[in-house]
Structure 1
């Protein structure tokens, strides 16, 4: 089963976010998911039973299952359109392919992620699509060999260029179809960027890099980007924006969980779930069981051009739940 998570528009109703440096998108993304789950699950209905157990409405009351997909929460595109004409916006989308996800399914997943954004914003196209591949960290390449990375443990090994080119061909098709106007990649140093430029049919117009350990862009990369007309942009996104353990925490039975996933089996354990229903061997009777593997995350931002403000920003994410 596919789990489809969404934040809705994280810009407050009736307000606009001024463009300014933000905290890492992982923190923004996770807190926005948790807030959206709370808004839709009816946290105001939570109460304590006579036995002191906390009871929440079942996740089935605020999610929706279609075919083999569970929307968390239920998707509703009826009131999500932009306030002004499409031409008034710069719309940027960043698609994160996640560690451990299926490479073979990327073509389908890429189109699915972009289609969700188009539906959410009621638009026919986006201005810039940036793709982020797992296991690539700009600060570990030729950029800053004398700096210590603050990224933490390695989350995935870098993919071979051939796998990245397979995904890039889908991105190129979206450009051919007019769905995407400009293409971009993230975390490519001089060597990787040069290899991609040599083999890609449509070259990237943007290379988005994280300078967490560096104070300047390497000269070789700057020279290559200038000669090939590739714009260098700086970001502070987490590469692995949705770790597997984070998904289980978000959807699990903990105090901040959405109550969608059952707890791991515990022999002989029988108690009440957060839904107030009996659990046998640590499992909630109406909750989903299995292993969760995050597949992708897509971030979208709609900026009003003549005012330099963000009107709409949000995230979608997909994970596979297997027995």
Structure 2
């Protein structure tokens, strides 16, 4: 069982905070309910009369599409540079049931739909970038400052299970992303050791090396010289971000699912539902710095149904 929600263009949200995300999802769910109210009530009543189960858990797949009156990118005859940030959830509990490669593929497929829709509008497109955010990666500002034993410093990092999985996911993102028109790729919170390992891995696999590394505002003011040097030598932009560690807390997940259901979730219902991935899509008019579109797409899954 899964739920996919796409907000469409949310013109009021410019800070990209977790609170904005919940408000935007809430507004889209309310709009969706308004247009399908009678149909939803009939379906839910039928299921409850039939076997006592609830409508949310009986549907194999629920899709809440964006409002067609709110296209994600609205400018006419303007090149729009698009940055997509893909968030993977922390503490995914039973995540072994759904490999992250599968989640990545699902997210890229949703991006394909967005880009196909945008290509049929009057807007032309500029560059498209994809940034990956991994919950297990946190920035370390004293990592890799000594260059004398560079290979020794990186050995443990390269061989660790976590970084190897991240490297493989990055490669998969490049391979899948290229097929949907993504031109540049990046990561978030990579300090010197991890970024060096990723650059080396990209060369070994003959894939696009990262061109973006996003660092949180708390750490980006004073960056280690080793990271500045590495980024300069490899043409990597070091950009600031203000995303929280967990952009979509469990309480917010439950709240939005209750809005979809139209009723409270009992405890055994709520425990199985998790968010699988989250996309934030931001469009800026090229060479003008004017925000042209901002939207969210989130996928929930019920792990108890897998």
Give the TM-score taking structure 1 as reference length. 0.69
Is 1:311 matched up with 2:270? no
Match of 1:193 among 181, 195, 200: 195
Paired residue for 2:19? 27
Does the Cα contact within 8 Å between 1:110 and 1:170 map onto a contact in 2?
no
Task: For 2:222 and 2:297, locate their aligned partners in 1 and report how far apart those are by CA, in whole Å.
Answer: 32
Give the TM-score taking structure 2 as reference length. 0.72
Q: For each residue in 1:115-154, what CA deviation from the matched residue of structure 2 results, as whole angstroms up to 9, or x when unmatched? A: 24314533788511111112212257639xxxxxxxxxxx
Paired residue for 2:169? 167
Say which SS state the counterpart of residue 143 (structure 2) adopts.
Answer: coil
Say which SS state the counterpart of residue 138 (structure 1) adopts.
Answer: coil
- Structure 1 unaligned blocks of 5 or more: 46-56, 144-157, 267-287
Higher normalized helix content (fraction of residues):
2
The alpha carbon displacement at 1:310 in A equals 1.2
Paired residue for 2:239? 233
RMSD: 3.6
Task: For 2:32 and 2:85, locate their aligned partners in 1 and report how far apart those are by CA, in whole Å.
Answer: 25
Task: For 1:260 and 1:125, locate their aligned partners in 2 and report how far apart those are by CA, in whole Å.
Answer: 40
- Structure 2 unaligned blocks of 5 or more: 45-54, 145-159
Distance of aligned partners of 1:79 and 1:167 in 2 relative to their CA distance in 1, 3 Å threshold? same
Q: For each residue in 1:174-194, what CA deviation from the matched residue of structure 2 results, as whole angstroms up to 9, or x when unmatched? A: 454361111111110011101
Which 10-residue stretch deviates more, 220-229 or 80-89? 80-89
Number of equivalences: 263
| 1:90-169 alignment, distance < 5 Å | 90-99=81-90, 100=92, 101=95, 102=98, 103-122=100-119, 127-139=128-140, 142=143, 160-169=162-171
Paired residue for 1:250? 256
Is 1:264 matched up with 2:256? no
Does the Cα contact within 8 Å between 1:210 and 1:234 map onto a contact in 2?
yes
Is 1:68 matched up with 2:88? no
